[in-house]
């Protein structure tokens, strides 16, 4: 039978799910992911289905608080313990490979031709020297959320979101409220570089202003030019010129929007569960605003990889489980339970999903999305945060702020790649 472990603060809670008794000869494998209620629910459903179809394999599901997760994996696998199938953020691939934590996926079950023909293109970031090291069940993109009540209050059509960056500014101004002392009471648009905005700046705004954030191989910063300067001028201008928001207004962007104190925010489909559960919050979702007719988006995803700790029998069972949780039917279950989008294009691009008022805008965004090849997402995010602070708090010129950011990020890339 299936066993689920949830490790919080070092305490282990074991829950035994009902099911058919496993054979004494069943192969036992472990699946690890970080603790997120909807993800835990979804993988438990998939494990139950998988074990029913494969009574010779038992899957133990363990999840850890996000803050502890990477350290737990890095400690367990080299010692021959821990997961046989591990969930990891796609941006961690290089670090996991460098540490010899992952085995390449077996070509007889996961052919390159199938992956490249059936999965969205951003998944190809998991290919290194011709071998894939993981596959996602779901992918993510960004979309614009807007509060329909605040739109109406400001005299805006709640069914017509801003289609351009200029309209975004115009609408945000109409929904911004300050008291007589200038204190922000209601943000027209959230500013959250520590949230999803650093992705919006890097993979959307830089491209909309005519640039590319990195070279094709991801090893060289290429936003230190006119496009990068214009992109950060627009983003910082929401604070400094148009004053439609403040950094950390009501703690963060999602909190401000959820509280009904922000007219618009940019976020991912994973936020749907939180927003849908908020009483009194009426909102709609649309594609990100365009610039000169150009639309871009950012995509990210968590993948499932096979560790190299197990023997041949365990690795075969792990591969079988990985194939099961990355099939189209599993992706649809994940969409309905977690709110993240199917990684196979055929599973995502069906009328029921494309026409869904909540999922649809995210799915459309996948067609023109780019995934950043992170070497250290936390450090690269902080570089964007510092760049915005240099402009908005230290009155640095956009050009100088971009050059400082590019130099810092290039040093990070050079250190990782050994240049």
- Which tens digits make up the pLDDT trace of 79-88? 878 899 999 9
* 311-355 confidence digits (pLDDT tens): 899 999 999 999 999 999 999 999 999 889 999 999 999 999 999
363 contacts: CB under 8 Å, gap ≥ 6: 141, 341, 348, 349, 353, 354
Going by C-alpha positions, the residue among 414, 363, 372 that lies closest to residue 202 is 372
Q: Give the global pTM.
A: 0.83
* Distant-in-sequence, close-in-space partners of 125: CB < 8 Å, separation ≥ 6: 90, 93, 371, 373
User: β-pairing, 131-132 with 135-140?
Assistant: unpaired
Q: What is the pLDDT of residues 219-246, one digit of tens each?
A: 999 999 999 999 999 999 999 999 999 9
Cβ within 8 Å of residue 173, ≥6 positions away: 188, 242, 244
Using an 8 Å Cβ cutoff, are 36 and 69 in contact? no
Question: What mean pLDDT do residues 132-155 have?
Answer: 97
- What is each CA distance from 226 to 116, 233, 234, in whole angstroms? 34, 10, 12
Domains of the chain, by residue range, sit at 3-139+301-363, 142-298+375-417
Measured CA to CA, the distance from residue 373 to residue 165 in angstroms comes to 26
Q: Is the dihedral of CA 249, 250, 251, 252 positive or negative?
A: negative
Q: Which of 3.30.590.10, 3.40.190.10, 3.40.50.300, 3.30.70.2740 would CATH assign to domain 142-298+375-417?
A: 3.40.190.10
Whether residue 118 is predicted with pLDDT greater than 90 in this model: the reply is yes
Structure tokens given for 97: 């490979």
Q: Which fold has domain 3-139+301-363?
A: D-Maltodextrin-Binding Protein; domain 2 (3.40.190)
Whole-number pLDDT of residue 4: 61
Fold: same for 3-139+301-363 and 142-298+375-417: yes
Q: What is the distance between the alpha carbons of residues 294 and 197, in angstroms, rounded to a whole number? A: 18
Task: Specify the DSSP element, H or E, that contains 307.
Answer: strand 300-307
For the chain, the residue count is: 419
Give residue 374's pLDDT.
Answer: 86
């Amino acid at each position: 039978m299936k066993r689920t472990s949830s490790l919080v603060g070092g305490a282990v809670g074991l829950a035994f799910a009902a099911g058919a008794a496993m054979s004494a000869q069943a192969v036992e494998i472990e699946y690890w992911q970080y603790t997120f209620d909807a993800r835990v629910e979804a993988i438990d459903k998939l494990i139950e289905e998988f074990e029913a179809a494969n009574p010779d394999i038992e899957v133990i599901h363990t999840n850890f608080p996000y803050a502890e997760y990477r350290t737990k994996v890095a400690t367990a696998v080299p010692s021959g313990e821990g997961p046989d199938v591990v969930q990891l953020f796609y941006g961690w691939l290089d670090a996991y490979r460098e540490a010899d934590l992952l085995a390449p996926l077996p070509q007889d079950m996961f052919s390159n031709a199938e992956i490249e023909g059936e999965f969205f293109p951003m998944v190809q970031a998991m290919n290194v020297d011709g071998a894939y090291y993981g596959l996602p069940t779901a992918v993510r993109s960004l979309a614009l959320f807007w509060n329909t009540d605040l739109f109406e209050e400001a005299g805006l059509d709640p069914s017509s979101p801003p289609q351009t960056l200029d309209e975004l500014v115009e609408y945000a101004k109409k929904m911004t409220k300050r008291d007589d002392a200038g204190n922000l009471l209601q943000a027209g648009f959230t500013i959250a570089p520590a949230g999803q905005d650093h992705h919006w700046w890097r993979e959307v705004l830089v491209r909309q202003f005519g640039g590319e954030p990195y070279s094709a191989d991801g090893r060289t910063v290429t936003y230190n030019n006119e496009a990068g300067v214009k992109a950060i001028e627009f983003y910082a201008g929401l604070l400094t010129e148009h004053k439609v928001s403040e950094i950390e207004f009501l703690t963060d962007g999602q909190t401000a929007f959820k509280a009904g104190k922000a007219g618009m925010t940019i976020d991912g489909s994973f936020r749907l569960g939180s927003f849908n559960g908020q009483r009194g919050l009426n909102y709609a979702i649309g594609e990100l605003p365009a610039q000169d007719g150009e639309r871009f988006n950012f995509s990210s995803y968590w993948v499932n990889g096979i560790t190299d700790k197990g023997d041949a029998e365990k690795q075969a069972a792990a591969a079988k489980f990985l194939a099961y949780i990355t099939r189209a039917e599993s992706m649809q279950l994940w969409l309905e339970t977690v709110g993240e989008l199917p990684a196979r294009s055929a599973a995502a691009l069906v009328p029921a999903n494309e026409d869904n008022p909540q999922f649809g805008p995210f799915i459309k965004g996948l067609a023109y999305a780019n995934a950043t090849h992170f070497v250290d997402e936390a450090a690269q995010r902080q570089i964007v945060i510092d760049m915005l602070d240099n402009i908005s708090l230290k009155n640095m010129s956009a050009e100088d702020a971009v050059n400082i950011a590019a130099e810092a990020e290039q040093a990070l890339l050079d250190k990782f790649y050994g240049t």
